[in-house]
Amino acid sequence: MKPQNLEEKVVWYSLIGTYGFYFIGAYYFSISIIAWLLALYVGKKLWNQTENTPTEEKVTIPPSIWVWIICMLVMEFALIMGHIDFELGVGKIITSSINWARNWAYLALFPLIGCLNIRPKLIYRGVCIVCLQSLILIPVLYLAHAIHFPNVLYSNSLLWLIGGNDQIFYSVKLYGFEEGNVNQIRLSLFAPWPPALGLVGCVYFFLASQESEKKWRLIGMTASVAMIISSVSRLGIVCLAIVPFLTWFLVNFIRPEIQIITGVTSFFAGIFAPLLIDFLQAFKEHFSEARADSSRLREVLGRLALKGWKEAPIWGHAIVAPRGILFTKFMPIGTHHTWFSLLFEKGMVGLIALAFPLLWSFIDLLYKAYKNQTAKIALSVVLVLFLFTFGERIEGLVYLYWPGLVIMGIAFNHK
């Protein structure tokens, strides 16, 4: 498995060098540079190609990627309008636009990079190698906790001054603890916090499942599950249980026998609806009580975000609240939930600017998934991202799950 061109070399070495970048505090910074450089490379190839350009070298941008590009530009427009509404000044607009360029913009850039001549199997193998590295590192980190090794090694302050954003993205952290319980360890590996590792583990699981060699496939899938479990991410475990079945069901729904079984199941579900409702309510309560403090915090932040949205329903407040109240443990309003955060920061315009491309991608990939395996995996990635919008701000973690977005771009290009 060797890269055959410039774009494959960049993607390959970025993937297998994940921990190398992380342990020098440069992973977030390096992926940011790679995203924009490869996006500019796409533009260069588009500019230079002619009718005589070989077919395998031509770059074609499909409609689905244009949808993502346009909607992310709308997100930037909403950001600017929010700043103007609240008179935050030109300096703040520039700062916030730079932040947009290193989070929301990536949701369009990495699928765009998928338009380059990149083989999916290269990404699958690279993900499996990262998974193997993680599988080796997980017991080492548990041992570090057992011998009371410091959980945070250092933070790369130099890159933080250059790259900006929160300093946690430049910190090298070995392990963490469950809030209020120093005896329950939670790993985050190369992610900034444990639930983010749960998101990465879910995306990596579906990518690793497509590895052609059985040995690497087993390693990749096993390590992905280990990443999710060691992160103690409730949402990650739910995704791992639901998304494979949901993808299979959606792709096979056109089969008559599946439609008949669905009809019969719906009939009996209607009869036993009260029992099902009680079961779902009990599951929700158990899910929330598993980490009650975290669930209450998210609920409070969500209520405050909705209350703030009513003050600026169209364009939002432009920025998150600088500092939360004591009741939210000083967590800023506009965090911990993608949809509530969008309503608070960018109003209804921002929410539509994410909901529309997600829905478009779902329909496009579902249509193609009947005949294309890459589209089927990309569909699973979209479902994972959608579920995690209810527990994380997915735009700030793109630099972690970017291989999944590149696969999405490749799938969009499938005719």
What pLDDT band is residue 272 in, cutting at 50, 70 and 90?
low
CA-CA distance, 269 to 262, in Å (whole number)? 10
Confidence at residue 337, expressed as pLDDT on a 0 to 100 scale: 79
Share of the chain above pLDDT 90, in %: 53
- Mean pLDDT for the chain overall: 86
CB atoms within 10 A of CB 133: 17
C-alpha span between 333 and 308 (Å, rounded): 9
Residue 110's nearest CA partner among 394, 356, 402, 410 is 402
Q: Which residue has the higher pLDDT, 221 or 181?
A: 221
- For residue 133, how far is the Cα from the chain centroid? 20
Name the more confident of 45 and 261.
45
Chain segment 113-141, per-residue pLDDT in tens: 999 999 999 999 999 999 999 999 999 99
Closest among 134, 230, 127 to 184, alpha carbons compared: 230
CA dist., res. 231 & res. 338, Å (int) = 20
Tell me: pLDDT of 49 over 70: yes
- Label residue 269 by pLDDT band (50, 70, 90): low
Provide the 3-class DSSP secondary structure of residue 110: helix
H helices of 59-213, where? 63-85, 90-101, 106-113, 120-146, 157-163, 194-208
Weakest mean pLDDT among 148-152, 296-300, 325-329? 325-329
- pLDDT value, residue 166: 76
pLDDT at residue 184 is higher than 90? no
d(CA 95, CA 379): 34
pLDDT at 292 over 70: no
Does pLDDT of 358 surpass 70? yes
Looking at the chain, the whole-number percentage of residues with pLDDT higher than 70 is 86
Q: Quick one: pLDDT band at residue 85, thresholds 50, 70, 90?
A: confident
> Alpha-carbon distance 311 to 344, whole Å?
9
Residue 328 is predicted with a pLDDT of 53
Query: Does the pLDDT at position 104 exceed 70?
Result: yes
Biggest CA–CA distance in the chain, Å, is: 66
pLDDT value for 384: 96
pLDDT tens track for 361-385: 999 999 999 889 999 999 999 999 9
- Tell which wins on pLDDT, 216 or 149: 216
| Local structure of residue 331 (DSSP, 8 states) | P
pLDDT of residue 80: 93
Task: Please determine, for residue 329, whether its predicted confidence score (pLDDT) is greater than 90.
Answer: no
pTM of the shown model:
0.90
396 burial type by CB count under 10 A (0-12 exposed, 13-18 middle, 19+ buried): buried
Q: What is the pLDDT of residues 280-289, one digit of tens each?
A: 666 566 655 5
